[in-house]
């Protein structure tokens, strides 16, 4: 075994994964993409400014680039890959497609995770609450207008389903 390696377990998307031969300083983002073959979470700034690496950890939206993977043992981690139940899209994902919230698409997984996290805590957010919730996610294509429309659509679709 490489002396500069760690073996530890991570709970990702409901499954326990053993991480081997990992360097101590590896970020959760790196481990998800390069070791667990979960490339849906995107990496861009690697300094917590862009939000494209957003995942849910123990019920909180976090930047996976700022989590030291080896310290995330015993945490429940949810990535974009686990939001839908298989082949179908969630209401948020579907609304991003139909409302034109996706252009280059690079920010989309992080935004979808941040919005799913918001709606899980607040199913009918105000405009300012939506803006606050995605203030840590940068999109350089859409100008955000179509993203806000997608959130509104997802909220109304979910409301119709539950009423």
Partner 1 sequence: MSVLVPRTLQDALQATAANPSAQLIQGGTDLMVEINFNHRKPTDVIALRRVDELKSIQIDTEKSQITIGAGLPYQQMEHGEIARRLPALAQAARTVGSPQIRSAGSIGGNLGTCSPAGDALPVLSALDATVNLQSADASRSVSVHDFMVGVKRNARLPGEIIVSTTLPIVSGWQGYAKVGVRNAMVISVASCCLVVDRINGTIAVALGAVGPTIIRCRETESWLASQVDLKTKTTISPNLLQEFGTRIANESKPIDDHRSTAAYRRHAVCVLARRLLTRANSQ
- Which of 10, 12, 31, 61 is the binder for partner 1 (CB under 8 A)? 61
Nearest partner of 16 among 106, 76, 99, judged by Cα:
76
Total number of residues that touch partner 1 (CB under 8 A): 33
Q: Which stretch binds partner 1 (CB under 8 A): 61-69, 88-96, 98-106, 146-154?
A: 61-69
Could you say whether residue 1 binds partner 1 (CB under 8 A)?
no
- Tokens of residue 54, six digits: 């957003």
Binding mask 2-31 for partner 1 (x = CB under 8 A): -xxxx-x---------------xx-x----
List the strands of the sheet with 60-63, edge to edge. 15-22, 6-12, 76-78, 54-57, 60-63
- Tokens of residue 114, six digits: 């941040």
User: Which is it for strands 6-12 and 54-57: parallel, antiparallel or unpaired?
Assistant: unpaired
Q: Please give the residue ranges that form the binding site for partner 1 (CB under 8 A).
A: 3-6, 8, 24-25, 27, 46-49, 51, 54, 60-63, 65-68, 70-71, 73-74, 114, 132-133, 135-138
């Amino acid at each position: 075994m490489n002396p500069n390696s760690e073996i530890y377990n991570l709970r990702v998307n409901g499954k326990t994964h053993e991480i081997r031969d990992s360097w101590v300083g590896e970020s959760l983002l790196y481990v998800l993409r390069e070791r667990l073959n979960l490339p849906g979470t995107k990496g861009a700034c690697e300094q917590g400014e862009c939000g494209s690496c957003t995942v849910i950890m123990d019920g909180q939206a976090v930047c996976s680039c700022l989590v030291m993977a080896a310290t995330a043992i015993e945490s429940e981690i949810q990535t974009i890959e686990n939001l839908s139940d298989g082949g179908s899209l969630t209401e948020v994902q579907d609304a991003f497609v139909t409302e034109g919230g996706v252009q280059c698409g690079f920010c989309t997984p992080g935004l979808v995770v941040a919005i799913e996290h918001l709606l899980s805590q607040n199913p009918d957010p105000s405009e300012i609450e939506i803006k606050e919730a995605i203030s840590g996610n940068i999109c350089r294509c859409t100008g955000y207008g179509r993203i806000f429309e997608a959130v509104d659509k997802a909220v109304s679709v979910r409301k119709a389903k539950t009423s």
